[in-house]
Chain A
Amino acid sequence: MRLWGRIFAAKAREQPAPVTTPAAVIPHRAFPHRPPTFTVGMATHPGLQRERNEDSFAIFQSTVPRQGDHISLGLFIVADGMGGHEAGKVASELAVREAAAIILNKFFVPTLGERGQAPVNEILGQAMTAANAAVWSRVQGKTMGTTLTAALLLGRGIYIAHIGDSRAYLIGKAGIVQLTSDHSVVERLLSVGQLTKDEARKHPQRSVLYRAVGQAEAIQPDIYREELSKDQRLLLCTDGLWEMLPDEEVARLVNAFPDPQEACNELIAAANSAGGEDNVTAILVRLND
């Protein structure tokens, strides 16, 4: 090895000789090695009072190679369309497709090659901008728009891009934390202490958004990073879930059903039992050991 090192050094002047690592300090990894995985549950329903389901979603599950190892990669998107006739569905589907295409093309595909990629926040920003441009170009005086909440899972990191009032939550035994904040006037009033939680829940304008996809030429999405631990679940949902069920009830159901798919089914059933006033979509993610 020493000899090889010298030959190597002679060939590549720039590089000093690599040195053998003393075996004593290398602990053996537990083989066989399995890359980390995650399990996803998903359910959507028109609810009990609407004919159409104007929610849209996307799920992508993979791993990405990283210096000989793999880390998990997941992309989860929910969107809640607004507008009469088919316009809401058109908007939410268009936004989800555009955003997913950009994120996969600009982030996922480069991980398969040698090329690097732009920072995650820039790619998420581009995805939201593209989704907005696609919807905006179709609006043309029509009643059309959508919320859009995307979560990119990379190892333990969750990268959120969000506009509107669909939500992302972290749920664990310790409770439920809302990661996103709704872009509604009522939510702002709540956060500056001018409405109580109760007043906000019942406020007639609680569904009036000040930001949505397809409502202006430019958008200002919220983009930030959170972390998911093994004992937590990531939930993405549209307002058909959170308007029907208090956060505590959502947390109780998620904790009661360890299988994400079963938990999603239960969430939809509970939202419908509580009235099912709106379309409801839920995506639930659990990291595996």
Chain B
Amino acid sequence: MTGKEEPSGTEKLSTSSLDELAANTLPVGTVLQDRYEILGILGLGGMGAVYRARDRRFVSSERLCAIKEIVDLIPDPATRQVNLVNFEREANLLATLSHPAIPKIYDYFHEGNRVYLVLEFIDGEDLEAILEGTQSFLPEREVVDWAIQICDVLTYLHHHQPEPVIFRDLKPSNIMLTRAGRIVLIDFGIAKLFQADKKGTMVGTEGYSPPEQYKGMAEPRSDIYALGATLHHLLTRSDPRLETPFTFQERLPRAINPNLSGEVETAIMKALEYELEKRPASAEEMKRLLLNALGTESAGISRSALLGRLATVTSLKDRTTQLVWQFNCEEEVRSSPAAVEGLVVVGCYDNNLYALDAETGAFRWKFATEGGIASSPCFWRDAIFVGSEDYNLYAVSLTGKLVWAYHTNGPVRSSPRVAHDVVFVGSDDQQVHAVDARWGKNVWRYVTWRPVRSSPAIYEAVVYIGSEDEYVYALDAITGTAKWKLHTMGGVISSPAVSQGLVFVGSLDRNLYALDADSGFAVWRASAEGYISSSPATDESRVFVGSVDKHLYSFDQKTGKLVWKFVADGQITSSPRLSPSALYFGSVDGYVYSLETKTGKLRWRFKTGGPVPGSAAISRDVVYIGSTDHKVYALRA
């Protein structure tokens, strides 16, 4: 059982105690102290009701007041006594306060077994009700104007002599807006004092309270935090009582409501710092921050500030990188280069496999096949393997001489991978081929029902590969027998990536799948708005993939939750490649992009003369990538 403070199962949720309170409210028409006539209920609080009442001493005018009652449900007499003393002390303190944003106290009395407090009646609505009464975001200007008024009253309270008064419980439902647009704080922590010993509310979060309040500490900057939390709620409509506690830092206001100004966001997030020293030092400082935010929004400087902001955005989009070299082929380059030991090799639709000097881009040699090369080469010892549309898988020496050719019954558009001295590759002949890497002899074939253009991933002696027959296959690398296969709802051109026991692969059914590498069961799927023919890349915790919906996505491997997405100007069929801190991919919009792996922020983009469907190879801080403009580019990473 949870809620173990109590010796036996007698905990009460707030709902049940509310029911009890509701059953105990005073009926309309009740007259207290022969003076206050109950007209109705304004609300139910934790410890009793708040009534709308009329003061009968003012016979000819209808003088309204709010009457707050405290129904003491705490069975323990000692605790009840402490609460009463605290309540009385607080009421006395309130009586010394005088500020337009604080309701006046008129009276205080006991009647029956209840305590009553007579307060100024505030004709208006609380901010929670206002928020619930609207569908769209509240206007920023108006909310900031309320916040400035709240700063004023907090300043008054925090400068109270002999001791500062800490409101302790600032939140939208404790802030009233009068019909005249004036802010009034209600519920002066009295109920809170009473609630301090309440037990057994096992579920629920205060949402607006700062961390130090959980250590029983409250000081002026605690109210600043609660104001920040209140503003966050009002401007984003995301209720902190429903969100995971203490996640404001992960839910930046502008990520939820992009219309907000950066200055307002900065002020709110500063107020929401966990460390007291990092928050605005006082309500006055908070007010200054908010005034400044309003100033930049409305004053004459706004135009230039706006232009400045636009300029930064443009310049970011224009940030490019250094071209190290470029090389012209005779046809489109749709495949991806491979780089090793000073050599970059790349296949081209002009039927040639080119070998270039990695440093200078100088032509070294070319190896001619009988068909276009859509397959990406791979290195193994002193050989290079590549598939061609002439139905062959080739092994070529590092000097460009044929070592062996292996014939399949269809174009080889899949890219070969080597493990255990065996080359694995798919073919349009619908088969997955395992070929002895030394001699080019067949080891096994596995038959699927459609062309295999996906490239294999080999992990712990299992070959993972997709087929256009909509299946993802796990084949025993040694025997070629299926360990499992999983059906997706679209062709699988994307090549699997394996990380932490999961196989990630995209499908033309628009999903990225995470499959259990052992059993092949789908663990999760994340959907895009378009086909995923791009092949995923992984780091230790995330998986990255592009889609023809123009987005490059980053998902958490364990949960499948979206971490970030980046939108390019064109479709992404290229597969992301990772360096320790950045990722690289091409787009049909003609650009090669580099993003920060962690955040998805654009680092640079480089314009080529045609769509870039191929993927990059990265070696020694240089990115090698081909484009349909017939060129191979070497770019500074």
Q: With the chains together, A147 CA to B2 CA distance in Å?
A: 9
Q: With the chains together, A193 CA to B519 CA distance in Å?
A: 39
Of A142, A192, A223, which is within 8 A of B16 by CB?
A142
Of B447, B486, B558, which is within 8 A of A225 by CB?
B558
Q: With the chains together, A240 CA to B203 CA distance in Å?
A: 18
Segment touching B, from A63-71, A98-106, A168-176, A259-267 = A63-71
**Known A-B contacts A26-B478, A226-B558; A212 and B516 likewise in contact (beta carbons under 8 Å):** no
**Known A-B contacts A21-B444, A50-B1, A66-B484; A210 and B245 likewise in contact (beta carbons under 8 Å):** yes
**Known A-B contacts A67-B485, A84-B11, A84-B12; A194 and B2 likewise in contact (beta carbons under 8 Å):** no
* Contact assessment for A277 and B4 in the assembled complex, using a CB-CB cutoff below 8 Å: yes
* Contact assessment for B3 and A82 in the assembled complex, using a CB-CB cutoff below 8 Å: yes
Query: For residue B436, which residue of chain A has the nearest CB?
Result: A25
Q: Is the interface of B mostly helix, strand, loop or mixed?
A: loop
* Contact assessment for B524 and A120 in the assembled complex, using a CB-CB cutoff below 8 Å: yes
* Contact assessment for A189 and B1 in the assembled complex, using a CB-CB cutoff below 8 Å: no
Q: Which residues of B contact A1 (CB under 8 A)?
A: none
Q: Which of B12, B201, B444 has the most CB of A within 10 A?
A: B444
Query: For residue A279, which residue of chain B has the nearest CB?
Result: B1
Q: With the chains together, A215 CA to B242 CA distance in Å?
A: 11
Taking the complex as formed, is B328 at the interface, i.e. its CB lies under 8 A from any CB of chain A? no
Taking the complex as formed, is A85 at the interface, i.e. its CB lies under 8 A from any CB of chain B? yes
* Contact assessment for B9 and A209 in the assembled complex, using a CB-CB cutoff below 8 Å: no
* Contact assessment for B501 and A82 in the assembled complex, using a CB-CB cutoff below 8 Å: no
Interface CB pairs A-B, < 8 A, 11: A21-B480, A25-B479, A66-B519, A88-B1, A120-B523, A154-B516, A155-B516, A164-B2, A207-B3, A208-B205, A225-B502
Q: Which residues of B contact A188 (CB under 8 A)?
A: 244-247
**Known A-B contacts A15-B447, A21-B444, A21-B479; A156 and B202 likewise in contact (beta carbons under 8 Å):** no
- Chain B proximity mask over A194-211: 1 for CB below 8 Å, otherwise 0: 110001000111011111
Taking the complex as formed, is B407 at the interface, i.e. its CB lies under 8 A from any CB of chain A? no
Taking the complex as formed, is A32 at the interface, i.e. its CB lies under 8 A from any CB of chain B? no
The B448-496 residues at the A interface (CB cut-off 8 A) are 449, 478-487
**Known A-B contacts A185-B214, A188-B244; A121 and B523 likewise in contact (beta carbons under 8 Å):** yes
Q: Which residues of A contact B429 (CB under 8 A)?
A: 16
Taking the complex as formed, is A6 at the interface, i.e. its CB lies under 8 A from any CB of chain B? no
Of B447, B485, B516, B524, which is within 8 A of A16 by CB?
B447
Q: Which residues of B contact A121 (CB under 8 A)?
A: 523-524, 559-560
The A19-70 residues at the B interface (CB cut-off 8 A) are 19, 21-22, 25-27, 49-52, 54-55, 64, 66-67, 69
Q: Which residues of B contact A49 (CB under 8 A)?
A: 7
* Contact assessment for B478 and A156 in the assembled complex, using a CB-CB cutoff below 8 Å: no
**Known A-B contacts A50-B1, A185-B205; A223 and B520 likewise in contact (beta carbons under 8 Å):** no
Query: For residue A24, which residue of chain B has the nearest CB?
Result: B443
Of B204, B443, B502, which is within 8 A of A25 by CB?
B443
Taking the complex as formed, is A113 at the interface, i.e. its CB lies under 8 A from any CB of chain B? no
Taking the complex as formed, is A278 at the interface, i.e. its CB lies under 8 A from any CB of chain B? yes
Q: With the chains together, A82 CA to B13 CA distance in Å?
A: 10
Tally A residues with Cβ within 8 Å of B: 81
- Chain A proximity mask over B523-565: 1 for CB below 8 Å, otherwise 0: 1110000000000000000000000000000000011100000
Query: For residue B450, which residue of chain A has the nearest CB?
Result: A14
Q: Which residues of B contact A195 (CB under 8 A)?
A: 211, 214-215
Query: For residue A243, which residue of chain B has the nearest CB?
Result: B4
Q: Which residues of B contact A243 (CB under 8 A)?
A: 4
Q: Which of A55, A122, A157 has the most CB of B within 10 A?
A: A157
**Known A-B contacts A50-B9, A116-B487; A14 and B449 likewise in contact (beta carbons under 8 Å):** yes
Taking the complex as formed, is A118 at the interface, i.e. its CB lies under 8 A from any CB of chain B? yes
* Contact assessment for A207 and B5 in the assembled complex, using a CB-CB cutoff below 8 Å: yes
* Contact assessment for B518 and A157 in the assembled complex, using a CB-CB cutoff below 8 Å: yes
The B566-623 residues at the A interface (CB cut-off 8 A) are none
Of B202, B249, B447, B485, which is within 8 A of A145 by CB?
B202
Q: With the chains together, A288 CA to B522 CA distance in Å?
A: 24
